[in-house]
Structure 1
């Protein structure tokens, strides 16, 4: 295969993964998308929070949930203290009969903590959230309402991230806004296969225990729902608020962990790679898997343009070098990135794809003993 063909195939892959597929999903959702009907949101609900060393924040988080507009007698909160070294369990046990605390003797990781929690849940709907977020008023009601449609097995809320202080924050924010729009379009087509770990819910009967060390519980659970023949919906009025990463390094580590978790899922759920068995193969392959391949395509395009004959490839090679150089400068000099248009987006693109490049070796070298990553 000639270097010219390699170059254009790689560029096509990158464009399709980040622009072509989202545009296709948007067009199809506009024409063929469906919205589940909503009904009463007053049923019995249990909100599960897995916590590790969260003594300082857990009580406020529990109160934030109990203040939601939901019938008091139908709302429960179950806090799992996952072998915490501090007094998380005591702090979570506020004086309210709706709150239950499960203290695990050892740190087993978030996935196993959730498994343990679900053995104590008997409500039809279970909601999952983390400690560091807060819910907007009405978030719980908006999250539960779509379950009136019997075809809906899981519902994702929408995470709103505060503006970051580092220079790439604007670029990460742009990426996240595009990601949420894509997820919304996928939901309308019945293709949604991931949820926001900070605010999502599912039918208790569809939960399948996760293997130890599972990184992406917010993909494992909705994939099991899809496997069972149900739909995953996105309720954009169910909003959780979170802070942005405080530094480029923190954002990079968070993204690397997520992308490595995608490789882990492929290993643990090999049916994802089978178009005949994966009910959302086209969406999963286009949205998740191709983005793991994009950094390799970018490297191949750079190498191909360096060796391909003709002035157009010389220009392409120089343009790529200049683009990567500017993006790296934006990462090293965040104040500079904040002042120049498009530089934050370019810096974020390079950072995210560098994380994707390292995600496969990171997944192979993942240390099961580091069960929780504190932010």
Structure 2
């Protein structure tokens, strides 16, 4: 118990240090630093290349090209390189229409059009290689971000210092919510403070500029290139500074789903960065080490720290500690307040708290995905799968999947050995049955996973027949297997699939890949039932129908599955639906109405 309290004390200090001492002091310091605005033009203008990988950017590409055309910089020293990375919209055609205007302005404009989508990182490495012979400095900027007209001249002034290797600036959001606006206001002040205390840790994809000769191609699995490239500069002994006179304005208004996905990507990238940027602690710059550890390092680890903290206080509270009980209540109250905007209760404080806690949750999901190898090929910009699925619902759904599955696993584990004994006494063969099933479908791939169940059939039941539907009084089912199916106890091992992320507690039934091809040909929109949605241990179709015995059964189940997907549009509607399904599942198990 003493050890638990000691760990809790240390974690409390870390949480207070990161959020109150370090972050608050850095924000305050950044706000009170004197701004330096220069209007003195440099004696000479080095060649500058601006590189832009673009994927389906027809909404903002006109604004971006107009912004580049109006930059206050000598035209003969400016080079624009754009790559359309397998665009399926009008981005490439719009870029072609602007070529003549850049030519008339005497600005070098080079457009690369590729029919395949290789991702931002591959195109960035390609464009950087193309730009190196032309320019001394290279700037990277997102299509959806406009930069201030004098951004390049301000950058040139900062590069007069030979120790400066890269420069970033203010990141502003045109139409962000209260929490998002506040977060980036804090971040801008913290980066300003970092710049004065040692070096800015990382950059921002909206706009940053670096010395071309310092560029080194990034590994193909790099997630956050706008962080890793400035860190490469730092590794080579140069500083990354913040120029407060350079502004970039983000035009893109992200949906909740896009924002959730973006923050997952940032979370996964943060964990990757923490691993790959260990070189920081070998630099002879104590200030940079402190900034990296206190800022990016602790921010990355904070979701895990919060989980351990809650677990410790719950454990100590269960032993009768009033202080631990109070700390647990404080945490749960905070998480509850952060969730209120999900049901429409909003004010400035709740919006900021929701953005902070929601960001940590998204980051945690992204890091878990990275640990399980889901970012092996880096990050590709892809259009959202669904607009009807509420992001808040998906986050809450995954959270409850993990929590309830752990609880279910712990409560039912005593039954596992008893069930295993009955299976072994009833028939020869393995206790568990593993079968490949079709999981979640997204724009990139169809997920296949190995579903785990207690065995209910005779060994090698499908050796001769192949994949076939179950039928009434199926002779392949053992005596104990029939009982397990009636009570749905054969599904208990699937708690492991849920925790791993293969399945959800509630969702469409996972189908076998051998049957999916035939069903998709026979039934329109069959595969769409798990598009953007994990299959479930139980579900709306499962509690309203039994096992499939013919194609007509599958046809009626499709309607149930799509009806459940529509319920995800609203957190309250989803919660009511899931509660009803769980209660009905419990009723089926108790009354042995399963099939």
TM bin (shorter chain): 0.7 to 0.9
1:86-123 residue CA offsets vs partner (Å, 9 max, x unmatched): 45334213212221112235322111111111222121
| Alignment partner of 1:344 out of 328, 347, 351 | 351
| Alignment partner of 2:191 out of 179, 183, 187 | 183
Local SS of the residue matching 2:82 = strand
Displacement of 1:31: 11
Alignment of 1:364-375 (within 5 A): 364-366=373-375, 368=377, 371-374=380-383
Alignment of 1:94-105 (within 5 A): 94=98, 95=100, 96-97=102-103, 98=107, 99-105=109-115
1:229-273 residue CA offsets vs partner (Å, 9 max, x unmatched): 111011121111114644333222211101101222345x2634x
Displacement of 1:49: 0.9
Q: Which residue pairs with 2:404 in the alignment?
A: none
Rounded Cα–Cα distance in structure 1 between residues aligned with 2:90 and 2:217:
27
Rounded Cα–Cα distance in structure 2 between residues aligned with 1:31 and 1:240:
21
Displacement of 1:356: 2.5
Q: Which residue pairs with 1:17 in the alignment?
A: 18
Rounded Cα–Cα distance in structure 2 between residues aligned with 1:123 and 1:215:
26
Change (3 A) 1:105 1:123: same
Q: Which residue pairs with 2:130 in the alignment?
A: 120
| Alignment partner of 1:327 out of 338, 346, 358 | 338
Rounded Cα–Cα distance in structure 1 between residues aligned with 2:213 and 2:349:
46
More displaced 10-residue stretch of structure 1: 216-225 or 23-32? 23-32
Runs of 4+ in 1 over 6 A off after TM superposition: 26-39
Q: TM-score, normalising length from structure 1?
A: 0.87
Alignment of 1:119-138 (within 5 A): 119-121=129-131, 122-138=134-150
CA RMSD across the alignment: 2.9
Where does the alignment leave 5 or more consecutive residues of structure 2 unmatched? 385-595
| Alignment partner of 1:155 out of 156, 159, 167 | 167
Rounded Cα–Cα distance in structure 2 between residues aligned with 1:51 and 1:27:
37
Q: Which residue pairs with 1:283 in the alignment?
A: 291
Local SS of the residue matching 1:120 = helix
More displaced 10-residue stretch of structure 1: 55-64 or 93-102? 55-64
1:28-68 residue CA offsets vs partner (Å, 9 max, x unmatched): 88999999998617332111111112345324311211101
Q: TM-score, normalising length from structure 2?
A: 0.57
Change (3 A) 1:134 1:358: same
Rounded Cα–Cα distance in structure 1 between residues aligned with 2:255 and 2:115:
33
More displaced 10-residue stretch of structure 1: 128-137 or 26-35? 26-35
Rounded Cα–Cα distance in structure 2 between residues aligned with 1:362 and 1:36:
43
Rounded Cα–Cα distance in structure 2 between residues aligned with 1:143 and 1:215:
26
Displacement of 1:318: 1.3
> Is the contact between residue 126 and residue 201 of structure 1 (CA under 8 Å) also seen in structure 2?
yes
Rounded Cα–Cα distance in structure 2 between residues aligned with 1:66 and 1:190:
34
> Is the contact between residue 4 and residue 305 of structure 1 (CA under 8 Å) also seen in structure 2?
no
1:143-164 residue CA offsets vs partner (Å, 9 max, x unmatched): 3321111111100021101243
Rounded Cα–Cα distance in structure 1 between residues aligned with 2:28 and 2:379:
42
Local SS of the residue matching 1:160 = strand
Q: Which residue pairs with 1:71 in the alignment?
A: 74
Q: Which residue pairs with 2:48 in the alignment?
A: 45
Rounded Cα–Cα distance in structure 2 between residues aligned with 1:326 and 1:359:
23
| Alignment partner of 2:324 out of 313, 320, 336 | 313
Displacement of 1:300: 2.1
Local SS of the residue matching 2:354 = helix
Rounded Cα–Cα distance in structure 2 between residues aligned with 1:27 and 1:131:
32
Change (3 A) 1:68 1:360: same
Local SS of the residue matching 1:148 = coil
Change (3 A) 1:361 1:178: same
| Alignment partner of 2:119 out of 89, 95, 109 | 109
Q: Which residue pairs with 1:233 in the alignment?
A: 241
Local SS of the residue matching 2:130 = coil
Change (3 A) 1:22 1:36: farther
Change (3 A) 1:351 1:237: same
1:151-198 residue CA offsets vs partner (Å, 9 max, x unmatched): 11100021101243xxxx212222221111111111112221211111
Rounded Cα–Cα distance in structure 1 between residues aligned with 2:284 and 2:55:
34
Alignment of 1:22-37 (within 5 A): 22-23=23-24, 25=26
Rounded Cα–Cα distance in structure 2 between residues aligned with 1:369 and 1:205:
24
Q: Based on CA coordinates, which of the two structures has the bigger radius of gyration? A: 2
Alignment of 1:143-292 (within 5 A): 143-164=155-176, 169-243=177-251, 245-267=253-275, 269=276, 271-272=278-279, 275-277=281-283, 280-292=288-300
More displaced 10-residue stretch of structure 1: 252-261 or 95-104? 95-104
Local SS of the residue matching 1:223 = helix
Rounded Cα–Cα distance in structure 1 between residues aligned with 2:262 and 2:284:
27
Displacement of 1:316: 1.8
Displacement of 1:27: 8.2
Where does the alignment leave 5 or more consecutive residues of structure 1 unmatched? none
1:196-215 residue CA offsets vs partner (Å, 9 max, x unmatched): 11111001010111111322
Local SS of the residue matching 1:78 = strand
Change (3 A) 1:370 1:218: closer
> Is the contact between residue 125 and residue 203 of structure 1 (CA under 8 Å) also seen in structure 2?
yes
> Is the contact between residue 223 and residue 378 of structure 2 (CA under 8 Å) also seen in structure 1?
no
